A and B are shown apart, each in its own frame.
Chain A
Amino acid sequence: MEIRFRLNGKQVQAEVRPDTVLLDLVRELGCYNVKRGCETANCGLCTVWLDGKPVLSCSTLALRADGRHVTTLEGLQKEAEEFGMFLAAEGGEQCGFCNGLYYERTGHGAGVKGSYRGGDQGVFSRKSLPLQRYMSQLRAVKKYLDAKQKGGRD
């Protein structure tokens, strides 16, 4: 089956099987930041934005992306670096395997376009960040959100 969608702003078309999950498709298309973690919709490593909303690509059929916008960290390099250096400064990036999800979760919580709602506890609720909530990462998110609010950047 052929699908067309926008991947990080670029129009792409792909031939997929009915049971192909979005995770495999975006990795095939070169978005290696999207990681296969638990494959059971628990860890959140495979998070991508579908029309600007975080979804777990391991449990989203590739067909669902048809005609929609898919965003991975490859399309958010500037934001990822800005946020990531907060993580790095706190030593929270660790081995880096799960870093992708932090921006995709925090950035979305912080509101890419709008204002940030819910406080850092909102970002780190079990639902939005299921994997890890270590102190270093909590500190990084908090500092990032504080800096965002102070800086008044979008």
Chain B
Amino acid sequence: MAYSQKRPAEAKKLRVVGAPLIKRDAKALVTGKPVYTDDLAMKDCLIVKVLRSPYAHALIREIDCAVASKVQGIECILTWKRMCRRSALPWQDEPIRSPAPMTV
């Protein structure tokens, strides 16, 4: 692989400074090896999907999971009903109760 890059004269004396460096994992990345989570995930692992409201700035009054929970392969559906209301996380339209709301 003929690769050359012009380096300033003073940098030529140095081995690392100013020298182009090829990443250690470059070969795996450029040849498309399965190195990402989705490539490595087990075939039978549970997959979490987040369903967001399709309406911006809408109030969610009710979440009906009756039909969705009958779909084959769905193990469980988590909504606010399954969450602890005393959580430190702020809910939509609620005042922030914790000084550090973004930490779980």
Contact of A86 among B3, B23, B29 (CB under 8 A): B3
From residue B1, how far is it (CB to closest CB) to chain A in Å?
Answer: 5
Complex CA gap A80/B27 in Å reads 9
Contact of B30 among A72, A83, A143 (CB under 8 A): A83
Q: Does B54 contact A (CB under 8 A)?
A: no
Chain A interface SS verdict (over half): helix
Q: Which of B31-39, B74-82, B92-100 is the interface stretch?
A: B31-39
Of chain B, the residue at the smallest CB distance from A102 is: B30
Complex CA gap A139/B28 in Å reads 21
Q: Does A87 contact B (CB under 8 A)?
A: yes
Q: By the criterion of a CB under 8 Å from any partner CB, how many residues of chain A are at the interface?
A: 28
From residue B82, how far is it (CB to closest CB) to chain A in Å?
Answer: 29
Complex CA gap A46/B31 in Å reads 15
* Given A80-B30, A81-B30, A99-B30: A86 and B36 interface contact (C-beta under 8 Å): no
| Chain A residues near B29 (CB-CB < 8 A) | 84, 88, 93, 95-96, 99
Residues of A in contact with B (beta carbons under 8 Å apart): 32-33, 35-36, 72-74, 77, 80-89, 91, 93, 95-97, 99-100, 103, 143, 147
